[in-house]
Chains A and B, each alone.
Chain A
C-alpha cells in the first residue's frame, strides 16, 4: 500500500450520482420533482434549525428531512474524511469550508437551483473563504466575545486583558477549549493579526496563556455558558449565541466583544461530495434561504442571519440586539479565521499541548 486513497465512492453514492445526472438530463430543475427518493440527510449542529422548519419543508416539497447532529467542525471533518457515509447537506464553519474545499470534500453548487440566493445580503456573497460562493451559502454568523456576570465584574469587561493578563478575576475565568481560537485571540490581544502564522509570535501568544494559567479555571469545551449560569465562573470566552441563550434565563449575565476586536465566524450550508440526494439538497437549501422560513429559523435560534429578506421580517428586539448584531465598530475590528494549512494546525496543536502540560 503505497498511497492511501481514502475516498472510495460506495455503490450507493455511485447509483445516486448517476440518478442525479439522469435527473438533470431528463427533468427541468424543479424543486421536489426528481428521480431521487424523497429524502434529504441533513447533518447539523444541535438546536440550529427552526422548530418547525423540517416539517414545513416536507409539507411544501414532500421531501422528508432526516437530521443528524454533530458537535464540532473537527468531528464533522473527521467523519467525512474517509468518504461520505450518506449526508446531503452539512453546516461547516468558514475555515472548515476552506479545508473541505482544499480536500475536495464539497460539491459545487448549482446556483440556478437556488433562486433564493437573491435574499442573501450582498456583503456575504464574496467572502475570502469561498469566493463567488461556489461551494457554500451563508447560514448564520456571529462573534466570539466575553460573557460575564454583571454583579461580579467591575463595569464592562471590554478588553481581552481581563481574560488573558489580569488576576483580578483569578479562578473565575473560563476560556474556550478550541486550541486555534484561544491562541488566535491571544494574538489579537497582543496586537498581531488574528491569523498570525509566525511561529515566534504564536509562541509568545502561548507564553501569555501559560503565564495566565493560574487565574484560568478551565478551558471549557463549549459549555462556558453553563459555567457562567451556575456561578462556577464570572467571565467566559464564548460564542455570542450561547451567551444569548443564558441571558434569557438570567438578567445578571451580559455579553461584550472586547475593544481589541473578536473573532467573526460564519456557518454555511454545503453539499458534501458523494451526497446521495443532491437535487433534494439544493431544494432544501433553497427553502432554508426563503424569507419566511429564514425568519422563523432566526427567531428560534437567535443567531444573526445573513438573509436580508428574512431580517427585514424580524422585529427590533432581534435586529437591534447588540449581542446578535454587534456594532459596526466591533465588526470592523474583528477578523475571520482563515485555514492556513496542515503545518499551522500541527504547530497550534503542539502549542496547545504545551499550554496544557505547563
Chain B
C-alpha cells in the first residue's frame, strides 16, 4: 500500500495551467528579475579589474586568485558550510517533532508552549546574540576544542534560532493532513513508528524540504548571532565578509560569494538528483 500515491496530483489540464498564462509569466519574470538583478551585478563585478564595485575597468580573474589564495576566507567558507549542514539536520528533526507535537496532542499549557516556541522567531537578533554570548561565557563553554568541535557553540546557537522556523513551515503543511489516513493505517495494524515512517514523513516531505532550505539559508546568512558566539578560530563566512565590506565591497568578496553560490548550486542539484533517484524506487514498486 502506498498512501503517498493518494496525494499525487493528476496531470494539469488547460484552465489550471497558470504557468502558461502570460500575466503569470510576466509576474514571475518581474519577480525573478527583482531577485536576480543584484546577484547578476554581484557576479559581474567579481570580474571587474578595479578595487571597488563602482566603475567597470575591464575583465579580470585576479580577484578569484586572490580570494582562493586567502586562507582565512577559505577557512571561514568551510566553517560556514559545516555549521549550516550540521545545524540543518538537527533543526529539521527538532522542528518536525515540534510541529507534530503541536499538531497532534492536546496537553496542559499548550498555548504557553506554543508561545515559547515562537520566541526564537520573535527575538531581535542582537538580543539573542547577547544572550548567547552571556550564556556561553558563563557556563565556561570550552573554546579550545579541535575542529570541528570548536564550532559547537555557533552550531547550537544556530539550531536554537532556526528550528522554530522549521516547525512553523512543517505545521502549515500538517494543517492539510487528513487524520483519517493515519487512523486508518493504525486500524490496519500499523505501529506508531510505521505510521510515522510510511504516512507522516512522506506527507510532511514538502514541508521538511522547505523548512530545511529555510534553516540552511538562515544559518548560512547569519551574522549577528554568530558574531557574538565566534572566537578567533571559529570565524564564519558572514562574519569574515562583514568586517571586510564595512569599508568597501571589493571584487574579492564578490568573487568569494560567486564561488559560494556556484558551490551551493552544485551541491543542491546533486542532492535533488539523488533524492529523485531514491524516490523513483518505491514509486516503481507501487506502479
Contacts and interface: CB of A to CB of B under 8 A. Distances in A.
Note whether A and B contact each other (Cβ less than 8 A): yes
B124 interface: no
B173 interface: no
Nearest to A226: B248
A196 interface: no
Contacts of A69: 240, 243-244
Contact of B233 (A79, A86, A222): A86
A230 interface: yes
B243 A46 contact: yes
B133 interface: yes
Interface stretch (B92-100, B101-109, B140-148, B261-269): B140-148
A90 to B, nearest CB: 11
A223 interface: yes
A310 to B, nearest CB: 23
Given A6-B134, A249-B52, A71 B246 contact: yes
Contacts of B235: 68
Interface residues of B, number: 30
A226 B250 CA distance: 11
A1 B143 CA distance: 25
Contacts of A10: 137, 140, 142-143
A222 B247 contact: yes
Contacts of B130: 78
Contact of B137 (A72, A83, A229): A83
B179 interface: no
Given A6-B137, A68-B72, 11 more contacts: A7-B137, A11-B142, A66-B232, A72-B246, A78-B228, A79-B228, A82-B133, A86-B144, A86-B232, A86-B233, A245-B51
Interface string B36-75: 0000000000000011101100000000000000001000
Contact of A225 (B50, B230, B248): B248
**Chain A CB within 10 A, most for which of B50, B51, B138, B246:** B246
B57 to A, nearest CB: 9
A221 B140 CA distance: 34
Contacts of B143: 10, 12, 85-86
B140 to A, nearest CB: 6
A70 interface: yes
Interface in B215-229: 227-228
Interface in A209-251: 221-223, 225-226, 229-230, 242, 245-246, 249
Contact of B232 (A68, A72, A78, A83): A68
A221 B246 contact: yes
Given A79-B228, A86-B231, A86-B233, A249 B246 contact: no
Secondary structure at the A interface, as helix, strand, loop or mixed, is loop
Contacts of B140: 8, 10-11
Interface of A: 6-8, 10-12, 41, 43, 45-47, 66-72, 75, 78-79, 82-83, 85-87, 221-223, 225-226, 229-230, 242, 245-246, 249
B203 interface: no
B242 interface: yes
B137 A82 contact: yes
A222 B231 contact: no
A46 B232 contact: no
15 contacts: A6-B134, A10-B137, A12-B144, A43-B232, A45-B247, A46-B243, A71-B242, A71-B243, A79-B228, A82-B134, A223-B246, A226-B54, A226-B249, A245-B248, A246-B52
Given A8-B137, A8-B138, A249 B51 contact: yes
Given A46-B243, A71-B242, A85 B231 contact: yes
Closest 3 CB pairs of A and B: A69-B243, A85-B231, A71-B246
Contacts of A47: 247
A66 B233 contact: yes
A46 B142 contact: no
Nearest to A229: B54
Contacts of B230: 85
A249 B50 contact: yes
Interface string B246-257: 111100000000
**Chain B CB within 10 A, most for which of A47, A68, A79, A245:** A68
A47 to B, nearest CB: 7
Contact of B52 (A87, A221, A229): A229
Nearest to B232: A41
Nearest to A231: B54
Nearest to A44: B243
A222 B227 CA distance: 19
Contacts of B240: 69
Given A67-B72, A85-B232, A46 B137 contact: no
Nearest to B248: A226
Interface in B120-160: 130, 133-134, 137-138, 140, 142-144
A146 B226 CA distance: 35
A46 B54 contact: no
**Chain A CB within 10 A, most for which of B72, B137, B244:** B137
A71 B142 CA distance: 26
Contact of A46 (B50, B52, B247): B247
A12 B143 CA distance: 8
A94 to B, nearest CB: 19
A11 B231 CA distance: 15
B149 to A, nearest CB: 14
